[in-house]
Structure 1
């Protein structure tokens, strides 16, 4: 196994996760061939600890105990693997298709996904304007403060949205930022009715944004695309931006991305 980081970093190491990783690597390298004793010998993990690890991972669907008491990887890794490659595929498709949208609007186009209550930026096609957006791939923001976040939250049940935030958790990026779950629900209802979501200077003063969700083959929202621009451009470009972002979202959805 490759060891990561120096001793300062390893003070935060969780040995149980390391052991589970060692077991999974062994099972992945020899699926349906190794029993508990084999895994114990291969990893150096004693039998009682190995029994507990395997019982836990079996309950979590990380592994499957097969006839003959051998082990194989569980279905959860199929789901996670599909989600990983769908994300990579979605970024690639965005890079191919967003260029035309960016050029037509002359404004920056972005792609993001929802992780619990946060929006995670995946990719950006930046227009040649005198103002540069601070968002970059990997950056996270509270979903309630962004158009893409609200477009994705709109795909959830109301109870799921309520569970993500408590009223005291709303950070005010600007005076226009959502301040309560009740106010967020009003924004979500608007997004559901329109088919797109808006950010009216809610995360940064001087900028507005429109976003629409990207759907997989089953109709599940797996990402969102947006166009952000200066408030000075918004009155003249809003209608076209709404049209083009919805079209881009439909185009990415129709490309067969799956989770």
Structure 2
């Protein structure tokens, strides 16, 4: 975006090198932005990536990706166990953990989720929208019901998750369409709603009913239900969900038994933030 940004203008998440290069602010550090884009390319689904894969995901040249990885490796944030694939090291977690654990929202959400988990004996999470992804800010798990290692700081595609769909449904139409258009909507399972017409219809339904159900669309055997977390002014600031194993609970039970408790927890949490 051409021209200087004032201090109170929010920077939107970067979408590849074209967006980065378009920023003409002399205070904008292109090299730092590239390094952060490389870090953001790692996800729970793709924990090990090559230089070529990182270049493709970030739209940054292979040479620039290689320099970013060299610097990040020197700082102890990534390493390459086989000389070809790169993966994150625990030091990366320390960068974001202080923020995620220290914000009032994250602290309050963790307390609420701990209580909700104990009441339902099911895994519970809270997340905010981070660009095109959901960012987990708190989680209280009872067992490992999914194969992906999900915890505070994890990011998943918003379009494919129950919390993400709750958050997307609250966006202005233009912003929502931009996110859906650039999302790589590759189905996770045979149940995944991945086409634009399907997603638009689903988000309309979520907007009307005030909750989202994800029935084995992210992973077979996993069902979840999510509701919005509202700030004092009524705007959606986060989402909360409960995840269950499909063999233990039907969609009807999820809606009839879990949803009322989840909604009360979200309402109680909203009063404390």
Task: Output the TM-score relative to the length of structure 2.
Answer: 0.59
**Is the 1:167–1:181 Cα contact (8 Å) retained in structure 2?**
no
Q: Gaps (5+ residues) in structure 1?
A: 1-14, 22-83
Where do 4+ consecutive residues of structure 1 move more than 6 Å? 84-87
Match of 1:160 in 2: 175
Match of 1:198 in 2: 213
- 1:201: how far off? 0.6
Select the residue among 117, 120, 141 that pairs with 2:132.
117
- 1:16: how far off? 4.7
SS of aligned partner of 1:210: strand
- 1:185: how far off? 1.1
SS of aligned partner of 1:234: coil
Match of 1:214 in 2: 229
- 1:171: how far off? 1.9
Q: Tell which structure's C-alpha radius of gyration is larger.
A: 1
Q: Gaps (5+ residues) in structure 2?
A: 1-25, 33-98
- 1:136: how far off? 1.3
Match of 2:122 in 1: 107
Q: Distance between the aligned counterparts of 1:231 and 1:147, measured in 2?
A: 15
SS of aligned partner of 2:241: strand
Shift in alpha-carbon separation, 1:119–1:87, aligned structure 2, 3 A: farther
Which piece of structure 1 moves more, 101-110 or 163-172?
163-172
Are residues 1:250 and 2:267 paired?
yes
Q: Deviations over 1:136-174 (max 9, x none)?
A: 111111101000000111111222211112277202111
Q: Distance between the aligned counterparts of 1:86 and 1:216, measured in 2?
A: 19
Aligned residue-pair number? 178
Are residues 1:149 and 2:164 paired?
yes
Shift in alpha-carbon separation, 1:87–1:187, aligned structure 2, 3 A: farther
